[in-house]
Amino acid sequence: MPLTAVRRLYEVSARMGAGRSLAETLQAVVDGVVDGLGFGIAVLNLRQPDGKFEVIAVSGSPEAREALLGTVSAADIFDAEFALADEWGGLRFVPHERLPEGDVVGWVPDVPMASGPDAWHPLDALFAPLYSSENELVGMLSVDLPEDQRRPGPIHRELLEIFATQAGLAIDKARLTDQLLAEKSRLEASEATFRMVFEGAGNGMATVALDGPEAGRILRVNDAFCQITGYDAGQLVGAAASTFLRDEEPEQTRRELARLAGSGTPYRFERLFLQPSGNEIWLGGTAAIVAESIGQPRILLVQIDDVTARKDAERELRHHAAHDPLTGLPNRRLLQHRFDSVLERTRNSGRPGALLFCDLNHFKLVNDGYGHEAGDRALREIAARLTTAVRHGDTVARLGGDEFAILAEDIADDALKALITRLEHAVSRPLEGITTQVTTAIGTTPITPTSPDLDTLLHTADQAMYATKQLRNPMQ
């Protein structure tokens, strides 16, 4: 998936959890699938309290929106299809060839059929069930028309599954947000009602004085706030809210509160929070003015959730975008990023570095003799050895197949020779369960202040590697 698509997915994930209404969240989910995951159509069925499903949001096709939006289906609408489906982790894929003969249920896109064994057929169906934090089914996301016209591969499926997990949590939270906003309109009439909502909310809630002598101090917290933060009410109430933020964050919070006080518009925040146990978690929340009477200090209502899981999912997405899925090494994209930084520092310091191109000898014999699964294990082991052999700060990247590149900054000739020797020895050690000896041929090219782009240097290092291989074995 292109890096721009992954970045778009981050943006959409952030919008899903930005404290929007349920309707806005549902539309953000389907728009995110189309804009960030490369599907042409996305449809979201929201599960109603009676168990039935209603199509609430459609993206990618005006025709699909007109045909499907607002349709209501029975609670068991997906049971028959799921009985025919392949399980792709949390996803369910129904290939068209398993569908029974007869009329097709639902809307089918009128598009040409691609060819090939993994081509996407207009009658293929891919579903992502959406669950709340309590593992309650809240909706069903269906996608169609992948942009490459092929059935999604493992990484594409995993990204959709991660996105679906966050979408289910966002929908669950948006439902609660809608409920709280509806309740907010009745707070002036009944303090008892406010107390009931406040104490019974599933997410953390606190009130903070915005004006007067107590400005900035916590006035009240609910049980969920204490459970999330790890502090008891006695430690929180009466304390300045800034006390619990990291040293660099109070000034940012003061600026945000000043904007809130001036505009009255709620704002969204995320903070890394240290619990009393020493464990760090990410808190995401909103702050809004909810009580303001003439002559009385204003009060903030703060809502927080533990968003550590979403942050971990975002970190996982970034890792997929920049690393080789088999070995975990940096991929070509991350190598380019690091090369640009090294070249800039080389131009500033004048001290040369080196780019090494490594090709494995006899690795095809491993795949042919032991199978690709053994070959994959061997590649992972060799990748780990190369990483151990380089200096701290050097980058080992997998270019594809059995080709690797090593980026070494500020390295003298003698250190470069020693590095090459370590790499050769690391690769040539026996591999467990494999009698074929795998070795490496290494070509190098210097990185100087006048060096051209990475592609040119890789080509030069590749030629140097080939020359080394020919010198050692002219028959190759």
Q: Give residue-wise pLDDT tens across range 86-121.
A: 999 999 999 988 887 765 566 787 777 777 888 998
Supply the pLDDT for residue 191. Answer: 63
pLDDT value at 149 more than 60: yes
Give the span between the Cα atoms of 450 and 435, in whole angstroms.
45
pLDDT band at 4 (very low <50, low <70, confident <90, very high): low
321-338 mean pLDDT: 89
Q: Which of 70, 42, 237 is nearest to 140 (CA)?
A: 42
What does the pLDDT look like over 79-88, one tens digit per residue?
A: 888 888 999 9
Same fold, 3-179 and 187-311: yes
The more confidently predicted of residues 375 and 12 is 375
pLDDT value at 23 more than 90: no
Q: Please tell me the pTM assigned to this model.
A: 0.44
Give the span between the Cα atoms of 461 and 438, in whole angstroms.
20
The gap between the terminal CA atoms of the chain, to the nearest Å, is 36
pLDDT band at 7 (very low <50, low <70, confident <90, very high): low
The average confidence (pLDDT) of the chain is: 84
- The pair of structure tokens assigned to 420 is 């090459």
Q: Which of 236, 231, 235, 229 is nearest to 285 (CA)?
A: 229
pLDDT value at 299 more than 60: yes
Q: Are strands 439-447 and 403-408 parallel, antiparallel or unpaired?
A: unpaired
pLDDT band at 167 (very low <50, low <70, confident <90, very high): confident
Supply the pLDDT for residue 294. Answer: 59
Supply the pLDDT for residue 268. Answer: 80
- Residues 6 or more apart in contact with residue 334 via CB below 8 angstroms: 322, 323, 395, 397
Enumerate the domain spans of the chain.
Answer: 3-179, 187-311, 323-472
206-218 mean pLDDT: 84
Residue 84: C-alpha distances to residues 5, 92, 100, 126 (Å)? 31, 9, 10, 12
Supply the pLDDT for residue 258. Answer: 72
Q: Does domain 323-472 have CATH number 3.90.220.20?
A: no
Q: Tokens 């609660």 map to which residue?
A: 176
CATH number assigned to the domain covering 187-311? 3.30.450.20
154-171 mean pLDDT: 85
The more confidently predicted of residues 443 and 172 is 443
146-156 mean pLDDT: 87
Please report the DSSP string for 388-453 in residue order.
Answer: HHSPTT-EEEEEETTEEEEEE-S--HHHHHHHHHHHHHHHHSPBTTB-SPPEEEEEEEEE-TT---
pLDDT value at 285 more than 60: yes
Q: Which CATH number among 3.30.450.40, 3.30.450.20, 3.30.360.10, 3.40.50.300 corresponds to the domain 3-179?
A: 3.30.450.40
> How much of the chain exceeds pLDDT 90, in percent?
35
The more confidently predicted of residues 35 and 246 is 35
138-160 mean pLDDT: 89
- The pair of structure tokens assigned to 201 is 């909310």
